[in-house]
A = this chain, B = another copy of it.
Amino acid sequence: MKKDNSESSKNTTYFRPYKGERSFEAVSGEIKKLIFQGVFKAGDKLPPETEIGRQFGVSRQTVREALRILEQSGFITIQQGVNGGPMITDTVLSRLSNMFLDIFYFKRLSLDELTEARFGIEKAMFKHVIERVEETDVEALKKNVEEAKIKLEKNDTPFEENIEFHRILARASKNFVYMIVIELLMSVVSHFHSERNEKDLKKSARIVHLHEAILEGIVEKDYDRSVLILDELLKEVRTILTKKGQNMA
């Protein structure tokens, strides 16, 4: 804060950004800290911009820039209108995925190397899936495969379902770090599927079939067999994803 010349100087501000930090950074940092501490939880509403500014002793402009940062980081969303304002909403993972996708474009990465990494990571993760899978996970996987089959019967390609299968697997690993990493990778895959929307029912059916086989292996806790099928699945995916569009501008 460079100015504290508020003529109505009854609101003495107890808030000071430390040297070198800009005011809006200090404000966004303070709010983020409150979110981390659990003072604000998802669904809670923050005061309107004017009120936040009053409490921190900064202008609305400064508050707005702070809110932009929090919004971009996935901690809040903002609504206009009478009962609107900034609201705590946990979309951090989605924002992280968007950023990863940006980097993917920016660095001109290839789907080939993405798939290669996915290959190794998913296989490593799968070990824990077999160890820790619970009944609810199996149910989710079964439901997923069923929905994919229904789409196939309607001559519809179950892209999203087939991607979701791997997200469910990640959840079943009971390791949040794997979940995040898989989410990053799959969000890129999902993005390119929705971009070039090619219908290949035969290949989709093959994938659903392999998913079903993996599911059987999981139920029977047959790690070796499951991993073999997973291998086959990923090879299949690889040929689909990398047959064209090696990298993209």
Contacts and interface: CB of A to CB of B under 8 A. Distances in A.
Nearest to A175: B113
A170 to B, nearest CB: 10
Interface residues of A, number: 47
B36 A109 contact: no
**How many copies of the polypeptide does the oligomer hold?**
2
Interface in A86-110: 90, 92-93, 95-96, 99-100, 102-103, 105-107, 109
A109 B176 contact: yes
Given A96-B100, A99-B96, A128-B116, A177 B68 contact: no
Nearest to A127: B120
A190 interface: no
Interface of A: 24, 32, 35-37, 61, 64-65, 68-69, 72-73, 90, 92-93, 95-96, 99-100, 102-103, 105-107, 109, 113-114, 116-121, 123-125, 127-128, 175-178, 180-181, 184-185, 249
